[in-house]
Chains A and B, each alone.
Chain A
Amino acid sequence: MIAEIGRFLIALAFLACVAQTLLAWRGADQGGRSGAARAGTAAAEIAVIAAGLAFLLLVISFVRSDFSIAYVASNSHVDKPLLYKISGTWGGHEGSMLLWCWILVLFGLGLARIGPKDPALRARAVSFQGLLSSLFFAFLAFASNPFERLLPAPIQGADLNPILQDPLLAIHPPMLYVGYVGLSAAFAIAAAGLMQKSGGRELASALRPWALGAWVSLTAGIALGAWWAYYELGWGGWGFWDPVENASFMPWLLGAALVHSAIATEKRGAFPGWTVFLALIAYILSILGAFLVRSGVLTSVHAFALDPERGMWILGMLGVSAVAGFALFALRAGSLGEGDGFEPTSREAFIGANNLLLAVTAGVVLIGTLYPLFVDLMGWPMISVGPPYFDASATPLLVLAAALMPMAAFMPWANGGAKPGLKQMRAAFLLVPVAGVIIAFIAFGAPVLAVVAGGVGAWALCGAAMDVGVHWRAAKVRAARFAVAGRALAHAGVGFIALGAAADASRPADIHRSLATGESLTIAGRTLTLEGVRRADGPNFMADRATIRVDNRFTVNPERRFYPAAAQTTREVGLGSDWRGDLYVSVGEARLREDGVMVYELRAAFHPLVWMLGFGAFLVVMGGGLALTGRLISGVPARVRVRSDAAPADAAAPVEAAEARA
């Protein structure tokens, strides 16, 4: 019965989304305050409740292990711990699509309740959001029904893929989807603004908090995924330029560009057309990401449920969204108006440079990700494009962007002035610790790019510290303090990420060796001794747990697990962490050596300063969260007015004061 109700609820949500699109459209035509607009909001509420109930029913089916539902049968098992029964709901294609759809309609309702101030713009945005939701609900209802029956019901399920049975993986997809899907709200507002012929500045103000919230979630989701890959997949990487990773990285890059360009548009009216264009294309790349992940067109280390027919559906949705968005942009971009002027050393120019570099990086990543697909479509000999391509093309661009970043906070709006800005930043003084870090990296024999990235990371950290030191006092009002703190934290996070990535790229070579009990190996000056291996079974798996003593100081316990339900073996990594880095050990197969002794294959690595990556991502999320909070409690900041005769020497302080007069 639950399956039929669930199916009905999805159909109901689909119809509600269609109604939302049409009613809110009519409402927007009538100025946004009419009955039709209110009916559009009501439809959005119905869609949220219906999709939420459907999702709840699916969760219940998982908890009850109702294997008469095909999706449950292929992703669950009665022996699985409760947490993973629940997280199994979004562990496969259909369930995660239902979650995606529910988040879409939640954002639709959010737009209807706390969306743009102008009622006509708000109703129009709700209508566009309804259109985007209808597309995905149609996909769910017609091609990816999570409540498909499986008769006769199997007695036992196929189990959730064991490597997905992890607490982080329970929260990684929802965070990621809030990010991906949250960008749809920015798309809807941008499209609505073009339709309504809103001014660029007003539009940037309306979409910035949505873009910021989505981007913060996307950052958190990607960071959680990288962390999970690092300790769960057992090969010691946190990012591999894999197509599936690129699928989330491209919208992240464009989202990062968007949250910055929206500031320039909102405060100074610069780049209005570009900001709107970014809002449109960021969500389109999110859908492209869904296509790459779910259609199986690319070989990836993360291959989930795959089906070419789904790919065609997603391509169709991609096409509709892209054609609608870009056609509107082509027809109406003129109404956004031209931005105000600025000098090459102004804040606007630095934000422009940031946007240019981030967008070009996204383009470079897109080419590297899609080129193998293109080659396959043409029937040419198949190729793959791996990390060397991205390291040589995308990484230098990102390092350059990070190098410019710390200075931007010290450049005054409009009239600019690099000299006073750098003097205020005490750039010459800051170069001392930067040089120290560079020398340290060279001393450790780091590759060239890592030396540069490490120096840039230190530069970004110093710049962020100086940003707080100089601008905190100048910020008299709460909103301005939130803005300064958010900016400094997020930029410091980028510095930590650059340092951590550079250090990890300079790490000593990993060691693979087979050891018998009592034997040792040495890595990065640490001696690892295999003390023994014993059985340590869990609720739904059997495990061999190795005990490895490190320098007589502590032990690590990597495991090799076998999940009988899925007939699959996984590794649990043993980690020994301190501030210098992670000792990373995984244990492979046991086998008999020539001398008749049982040996275990060990993989040992040392990842210096790898905690900086996680901590940096945490700071970026916190910084973005602070900026969003400041914005929500204080409203739209005042437009920054710049006197054309302003003395550039002390320009930054009055600018911050102007920001504060919200």
Chain B
Amino acid sequence: MTKARRRLLITAAAGTVLTLAAALAVMAMRDAMVFFYSPTMVAENPPEPGQRVRVGGLVVAGTVERPSSGGANFTVTDGNAEIRILFAGSLPDLFREGQGIVAEGAFDEEFRFTAANVLAKHDETYMPPEVARALRDSGYWQNGEAAPSSSYGDSVQETGR
């Protein structure tokens, strides 16, 4: 095969695969992109019921309720507004009151947020960037200030022991 033909062939193959991959990526991105809503954003301009979104904020102390049927319900805040989150699964081991969390799920017609999962972190001092931005946008957390978090002592063990 001549050099020119080989180049043409390689270019054609690469072009085909790249086009295919780009098409796959764009289509997948459109379906898989999940928008983040802070409690303030939800209050001002709520997402459609059923649309898959992420919400997040600081878990409000004293709002965590654990129904006997399993799961847990709790409220998150960004200082301006609050969202009640219903979660049927088992909370991540690092879930604590006062901590910044992100939950993925959807609002229903009655405007309750049902989470499909609550994101777990390896590090209990970690603040998800979405939540950090939401807290800054709401004015709850000024730049330069230490990250807000409630003190969690031995009282917040969740083992039920």
Q: Does B43 contact A (CB under 8 A)?
A: no
List 21 contacting pairs A-B, 8 Å CB cutoff, sorted by A.
Answer: A161-B123, A296-B126, A302-B122, A306-B123, A352-B10, A353-B13, A356-B14, A360-B18, A360-B21, A383-B35, A385-B32, A389-B25, A389-B33, A391-B28, A393-B29, A567-B153, A567-B157, A569-B157, A589-B90, A589-B158, A591-B66
Q: Does A439 contact B (CB under 8 A)?
A: no
Residues A208-244 near B (CB distance < 8 A): 233-235
Please name the residue on chain A nearest to B29 by beta carbon: A389
Chain B nearest CB, measured from A306 CB (Å): 7
| Residues of chain B within 8 A of A590, CB atoms compared | 159-161
Secondary structure at the A interface, as helix, strand, loop or mixed, is: mixed
- Per-residue CB contact flags for chain B residues 65-99 toward chain A (1 = under 8 Å, else 0) read 01011110000000000000000111101100000
- Per-residue CB contact flags for chain B residues 28-56 toward chain A (1 = under 8 Å, else 0) read 11011111100001000000000000100
Q: Does B111 contact A (CB under 8 A)?
A: no
B122 adjacent to A376 (CB under 8 Å): no
A544 adjacent to B161 (CB under 8 Å): yes
| Residues of chain A within 8 A of B34, CB atoms compared | 383-386
Question: Which A residues contact B (CB, under 8 angstroms)?
Answer: 161, 163-164, 233-235, 296-299, 301-306, 338, 341-344, 352-353, 356-357, 360-361, 363-364, 367-368, 371, 376, 381-393, 396-397, 512-514, 542, 544, 560, 562, 564, 566-571, 586, 588-594, 599, 601, 603
A513 to B88, CA, bound (A): 10
Q: Which of B28, B33, B124, B156 contacts A393 (CB 8 A)?
A: B28
B31 adjacent to A376 (CB under 8 Å): no
A301 adjacent to B3 (CB under 8 Å): no
A603 to B92, CA, bound (A): 12
Please name the residue on chain A nearest to B134 by beta carbon: A382
| Residues of chain B within 8 A of A571, CB atoms compared | 93
Q: Which of A393, A569, A603 contacts B159 (CB 8 A)?
A: A569
A562 adjacent to B161 (CB under 8 Å): yes
Instruction: Check A393/B21 contact, CB under 8 A, given A383-B36, A386-B32, A568-B93.
Output: yes
Please name the residue on chain B nearest to A74 by beta carbon: B125
Instruction: Check A376/B158 contact, CB under 8 A, given A163-B122, A363-B21, A570-B93.
Output: no
What is the interface residue range for chain B against chain A? 35 or more
Instruction: Check A594/B68 contact, CB under 8 A, given A341-B3, A589-B159.
Output: yes
Q: Which of A371, A376, A396 contacts B29 (CB 8 A)?
A: A371
A392 adjacent to B24 (CB under 8 Å): yes
| Residues of chain A within 8 A of B160, CB atoms compared | 589-591
| Residues of chain B within 8 A of A356, CB atoms compared | 13-14, 17
Please name the residue on chain B nearest to A306 by beta carbon: B126
A513 adjacent to B122 (CB under 8 Å): no
A384 adjacent to B54 (CB under 8 Å): yes
A343 adjacent to B1 (CB under 8 Å): yes
Please name the residue on chain B nearest to A589 by beta carbon: B160
- Per-residue CB contact flags for chain B residues 145-161 toward chain A (1 = under 8 Å, else 0) read 00000001110111111
| Residues of chain B within 8 A of A363, CB atoms compared | 21
| Residues of chain A within 8 A of B88, CB atoms compared | 512
- Per-residue CB contact flags for chain B residues 111-139 toward chain A (1 = under 8 Å, else 0) read 00000000111111010111001000000
Q: Does B9 contact A (CB under 8 A)?
A: yes
A385 adjacent to B123 (CB under 8 Å): no
Q: Does B102 contact A (CB under 8 A)?
A: yes
Q: Which of B6, B128, B158 contacts A342 (CB 8 A)?
A: B6
Chain B nearest CB, measured from A567 CB (Å): 7
| Residues of chain B within 8 A of A601, CB atoms compared | 70, 90
| Residues of chain B within 8 A of A591, CB atoms compared | 66, 68, 70, 160
A397 adjacent to B123 (CB under 8 Å): no
Chain A nearest CB, measured from B44 CB (Å): 12
Q: Which of A306, A388, A567 contacts B32 (CB 8 A)?
A: A388
| Residues of chain A within 8 A of B33, CB atoms compared | 383-385, 389
B28 adjacent to A299 (CB under 8 Å): no
A297 to B157, CA, bound (A): 29
| Residues of chain B within 8 A of A163, CB atoms compared | 93, 122
A592 adjacent to B68 (CB under 8 Å): yes
| Residues of chain A within 8 A of B35, CB atoms compared | 381-383
Chain B nearest CB, measured from A294 CB (Å): 12
Instruction: Check A562/B152 contact, CB under 8 A, given A338-B3, A341-B1, A393-B28.
Output: no
Chain A nearest CB, measured from B7 CB (Å): 10
| Residues of chain B within 8 A of A342, CB atoms compared | 1, 6
Instruction: Check A560/B90 contact, CB under 8 A, given A298-B129, A352-B10.
Output: no
| Residues of chain A within 8 A of B6, CB atoms compared | 341-342
Please name the residue on chain B nearest to A234 by beta carbon: B93
A562 adjacent to B157 (CB under 8 Å): yes
Interface centre among B14, B36, B104, B123 (most CB of A within 10 A): B123
A183 to B136, CA, bound (A): 40
Chain B nearest CB, measured from A363 CB (Å): 7
Q: Which of A235, A306, A392, A544 contacts B31 (CB 8 A)?
A: A392
Chain B nearest CB, measured from A228 CB (Å): 12
B13 adjacent to A513 (CB under 8 Å): no
A235 to B133, CA, bound (A): 28
A603 to B13, CA, bound (A): 47
A560 adjacent to B159 (CB under 8 Å): yes
A608 to B99, CA, bound (A): 36
Chain A nearest CB, measured from B59 CB (Å): 15
Closest 3 CB pairs of A and B: A389-B32, A392-B28, A388-B32
Q: Which of B32, B104, B121 contacts A392 (CB 8 A)?
A: B32
| Residues of chain A within 8 A of B31, CB atoms compared | 388-389, 392
| Residues of chain B within 8 A of A593, CB atoms compared | 68
